[in-house]
Structure 1
């Protein structure tokens, strides 16, 4: 599989002595959606800033579609669109002029039809003549997304794109991301809304204290590291568990009225069948049962806590 971005042994140490990245290796595939998760200060923004050419690395190499970010900066930057966390927009300009000018910065010919399409996709068309200073924070965020896409980049970085924005923008943006993906754009996002990563990402990378803890296909990650719980509501509450059930990871809750069985997602289905058979042999009657599987957020928390 061809790589849109290849990061090799990337390290960044600031003058203060803080090492924000420790020898990070990462390959990002063409056309995929990669979610980078990590707590505040983990190094996500530093990694993105280096790839986008905004911060110089201390050591290591980064290639963007085969081009080195330092020796071929102009080419690599033109391939990338970036929506940063902070709002940086031209206060006294109109929405239309801001997006059009951003396209021109990359040497692209004027394309009013493209700009119109972007503004309509992001529900900005009725604000096209409004000055940026008159817009709400959510609308300014939409303008930044339009700017990042104005030069038709092959790779799009979204650094906490939906932090503090309204539900409507989140919905519009994920629909737009879906269309971009279909057109072959590679998308890398960082987010605190892990349910969003769970919904749209192909792969998930977890960064903690400047180190890439894990990178894995989302579905495979949830299969490997997820846990399932079988909750059994009992007809009669138990004071203690019979010794014959000691082989199972069981716990009594709700005053003994509910039995919770935790098991690995890769465990055989027969484990549940054996448990139910053993419960029956022990004279324990089950009134109702339900299952629950770990979310990506559960896995993320466990990974970060394990790294600590």
Structure 2
């Protein structure tokens, strides 16, 4: 073989090796190691569904998306995780809408009391045009709003007495989120509304520094509030979604197929998580009764009194949220009620 021929063979071999190397690099480049953090116990429907979401993404991506779930504020509070996602330090977080509202005011829509009456209305708004409009606002904050999961309708618990009317709330020292809508709403209902981080709540109720709190039933059970609270009142005073947020820095590294896989996975996880949350809510109310809680409901006439009392609060915060956002929500809800 001539020197020239040997040179050609060498070049061909080098080219083949380069192709294998570049293929290996491309394969490695598509492996996505993802940290997903949330603030709730692993046994909560959010915790269970987050693990399910990791399995869904593993299937959809052929093993390329490797999601590690960090429950129960292991990566920080919800506010801290939002900041980490915005800064590109964390890839995904699933957080309640209330802390999102501190940086995107339109999310205060979900804090308005008695906006929704049932899950059918909720799903129509969250999965419709307004829901997408709000998700799109996350991009200006260096995040991608992927979809909504369910936190659920919020209920009141306390250690003093059954609550079946607005008068029964009078004077209760009730912990609320550090959120102006909730503070003003519960003050209007006659409670001594005290803003406090969730992480401090159990010990405050145990020491009797706080009489009452409000959260969805699965959180009440998962957080063992029934150990320090005797009474549960099914007020359904507000509905809170979880928002699945992705770091824009991470999102921009994905190709079109990967982005579509992530959206599809979010929707599959949403269906699983909503169904689980709603099933568990019904079951957990019975379980809380068996654990010794007294469960009360609010008669329609009393709920109407509460809504009337809260009208000034709703009108005030409608201006902060944006009248067009609230109007669109009301129209979408009215369309469901009119069917």
Range class of TM-score, shorter chain: under 0.3
Q: TM-score, normalised by structure 1?
A: 0.21
Return the structure number with greater strand share: 1
Return the structure number with greater helix share: 2
Higher relative contact order at CA 8 Å, sep ≥6: structure 1 or structure 2? Answer: 2
